[in-house]
């Protein structure tokens, strides 16, 4: 098992990074292909995860036509145009299926494996037992989010800008909040739209041993809205959890220590099913 860091380029402790490819990603931390040379001793995954429009396709094909010239460990893709163009061009860089809340079962994983995809990034809305089921029934490399605020929704609309225009006020913040009762949900707007995040921080460190046993290849830590000093402390716990042979009790102690630093951290949906029911009249 390895740790991928979804963080800023200056984070020194990382052996593997996840960056968005500039112009083709929804991520906050973006990188150009030319910048990859400075990460020659790091494992790099690129997110090409925005909805593609006709106007994006020429640039997307240009990128994919030369992507194999760079030392990239995998492409996290959302739009199926990435898969289609990669197959047509014979791209060798591994493709990782990353369609957010659609990555929920092993049967679809196995379908994409037949299409040449090499791995899947599971969402944080399924349980640990469901992740284990996927691992046991697919040959995919599985990527699991383990720490950080999780994106709940992405709208192509400029929700924040439209709101402040409607109330005739100027917005001078990078991060705003949607208020629902006592709960505050971070919302960020960028060139691809508006992203709404969970109010709580995912902390799945107690499940590391379970994921090791089912041969999960990568876990992902995200420092969005987490200060660098706190993120460094938290990453230290995860590095020990991954690299040392620790008991479940020791991992739970780590979880408690992280919660003492970040009181709004929790296991989110890892230990409870996400159930949506149609309300009958």
Tens-digit pLDDT profile for residues 5-26: 987 766 666 778 999 999 999 8
The mean per-residue pLDDT over the stretch 119-123 comes to 95
Give per-residue pLDDT as tens, 86-98: 999 999 999 999 9
Domain-embedded: residue 277: no
Task: Give the DSSP H/E element, type plus range, for residue 6.
Answer: strand 2-6
For residue 276, is it within any domain?
no
DSSP state at residue 203: E
In this predicted structure, the answer to whether residue 71 has a pLDDT above a threshold of 90 is no
Confidence band (pLDDT; 50, 70, 90) for 114?
A: very high
As a whole number, the mean pLDDT across the chain is 91
As a whole-number percent, the residues of the chain with pLDDT over 90 amount to 75
Residue 275 lies in a domain: no
239-264 per-position pLDDT tens digit: 999 999 999 999 999 999 999 999 99
pLDDT over 70, % of the chain? 95
Q: What is the pLDDT of residues 144-198, one digit of tens each?
A: 999 999 998 888 899 999 999 999 999 989 999 999 898 999 999 988 889 999 9
Largest Cα–Cα distance in the chain?
59
Residue 52, domain member (yes or no): yes
Q: 207: domain range?
A: 2-266
Tokens of residue 59, six digits: 């640039």
Within a domain: residue 46?
yes
- Predicted structure pTM score: 0.90
pLDDT of residue 281: 58
Please answer whether residues 150 and 197 qualify as being in contact, where contact means their C-beta atoms are separated by less than 8 angstroms.
yes
Q: Do residues 95 and 116 lie in contact, with contact meaning Cβ atoms separated by under 8 Å?
A: yes
Q: Is the pLDDT of residue 29 over 90?
A: no
Residue 203's Cβ-side half-sphere holds a number of Cα atoms within 13 Å equal to 27
Spatial CB neighbours of 9, under 8 Å, sequence gap ≥ 6: 17, 19, 29, 31, 35, 39
Query: What's the token pair of residue 250?
Result: 């020791």
User: How many CA atoms lie within 13 Å of 167's alpha carbon, on the beta-carbon side?
Assistant: 8
279 lies in some domain: no
Looking at residue 110, its pLDDT comes to: 96
Q: Which two three-digit tokens encode residue 218?
A: 């990568």
Residue 271 lies inside a defined structural domain of this protein: no
Residue 225, both tokens: 């809205």
Residue 34 pLDDT greater than 90, yes or no: no
Taking alpha carbons only, the member of 73, 83, 106, 117 closest to residue 220 is 73
- CATH code, domain carrying 46: 3.20.20.70
Give me the number of domains the chain comprises.
1
CB atoms within 10 A of CB 213: 10
Q: How far, in Å, CA of 1 to CA of 202, rounded?
A: 19
Nearest of 100, 26, 87 to residue 61 by alpha carbon: 87
Strands 95-97 and 43-48: unpaired
pLDDT (0 to 100) of residue 139: 92
């Amino acid at each position: 098992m390895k740790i991928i860091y979804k963080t800023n380029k200056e984070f020194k402790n990382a052996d593997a990074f996840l960056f968005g490819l500039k112009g083709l990603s929804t991520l906050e931390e973006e990188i150009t292909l030319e910048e990859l040379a400075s990460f020659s001793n790091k494992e790099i995954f690129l997110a090409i995860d925005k909805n593609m429009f006709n106007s994006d396709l020429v640039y997307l094909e240009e990128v994919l036509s030369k992507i194999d010239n760079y030392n990239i460990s995998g492409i996290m893709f959302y739009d199926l145009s990435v898969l289609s163009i990669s197959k047509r061009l014979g791209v060798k860089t591994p493709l990782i299926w990353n369609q957010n809340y659609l990555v929920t079962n092993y049967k679809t994983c196995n379908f994409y494996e037949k299409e040449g995809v090499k791995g899947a990034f599971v969402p944080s809305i399924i349980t640990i037992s469901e992740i284990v089921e996927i691992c046991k029934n697919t040959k995919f490399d599985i990527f699991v989010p383990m720490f950080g605020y999780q994106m709940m929704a992405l709208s192509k609309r400029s929700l924040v800008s439209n709101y402040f225009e409607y109330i005739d006020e100027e917005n001078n913040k990078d991060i705003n909040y949607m208020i629902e009762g006592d709960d505050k949900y971070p919302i960020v707007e960028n060139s691809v739209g508006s992203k709404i995040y969970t109010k709580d921080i995912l902390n799945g460190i107690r499940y590391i041993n379970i994921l090791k046993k089912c041969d999960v290849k990568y876990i992902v830590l995200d420092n969005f809205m987490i200060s660098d000093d706190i993120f460094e402390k938290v990453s230290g716990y995860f590095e020990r959890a991954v690299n040392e042979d620790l008991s479940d009790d020791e991992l739970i102690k780590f979880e408690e220590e992280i919660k003492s630093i970040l009181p709004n951290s929790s296991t989110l949906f890892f230990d409870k099913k996400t159930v949506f029911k149609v309300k009958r009249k």
